[in-house]
Amino acid sequence: MSYKDYLSITPEIEEAIKEGKPIVALESTILSHGMPYPENVEFAHKVEEIVRAEGAIPATTAIIGGKLKVGLNSEELEIMCKAEGVGKVSRRDVAVFLATGQTGATTVATTMLIASLAGIRIFATGGIGGVHRGAQETMDISADLQELAHTPVCVVGAGCKSILDIGLTLEYLETMGVPVLGYQTEDFPAFYCRKSGFKVDYKLNDANEAARILKTKWDLGLEGGFLIGNPIPEEYALDYDEMEKVIVKALDMAKKEGIRGKATTPFLLAHIKDLTNGVAFASNVQLALNNAKIASQIAVELSKLK
């Protein structure tokens, strides 16, 4: 058997891959472990609508029935959204979930992996994982960063999650040779906030320029992907200092409850939602939709270059 035997690609997406049409990969962890039911169902359909409106084809990924799913039907989306017995799958978990037939939601790292295996180069998410605060002691560093270093997929997100140590995350990406680009901004976004106090490596003017840079790197055979930081729309952005207070409070709660590892991010996002009376969740939805829009525009431009 080869990896192709584990891939289950919908006919529409399979045809699009063969014809070089624009496709945008979408993760399922944001559905199963990042949003409550049934709001996540509405989001799942809305994000796919946005991708199609921009001229691209959505490819939501998951692990179901021993297969790496590329594109989900309504029933499969419902399974991921209800999240009953749905695990959170990073690269280390993929073989276990496939071999044992468990159902898994794909993280940024696993979505990149599946997208690459299927031949999809553009992926839209909310924000990537990274180096957690206090990682000097805990060594809690997301597998997303290694995936970006080695897998040829461009990730469009609102920077990295505000709960992380953003400075160390950017240092790690620099060490691994991952280009960090800003979509029409010089500032690296911090998820709910448009600025983090850090700069990107290069400011992108538009989707065409982004596509030309992606193509050039991969034409050269250079390893790895890209991170494109796309700021949350201004009308949904939150104040950095206020969010920092909320995050510190949520981190303290996680520490007291002994939360660690892959449970950390879902715990923090849920409590940040509660601490902001749902405002942070609304921003999370809007930034993710905006990332899908920009990723689709880049995918369209990249398909033209091919």
Judge whether 193 and 238 are in contact, CB under 8 Å: yes
d(CA 75, CA 94): 22
List Cβ neighbours of 145 (8 Å cut-off, separation of 6 or more).
128, 129, 130, 131, 169, 172, 173, 176, 178
Judge whether 190 and 166 are in contact, CB under 8 Å: yes
Task: Indicate the burial class of 137 (C-beta count within 10 angstroms; 0-12, 13-18, 19 or more).
Answer: exposed
- CB half-sphere exposure, 193, CA atoms < 13 A: 18
Q: What are phi and psi of 204, to 5 degrees?
A: -90, 135
Enumerate the active-site residues.
27, 161
Tokens at 178, concatenated: 């991952």
d(CA 256, CA 143): 25
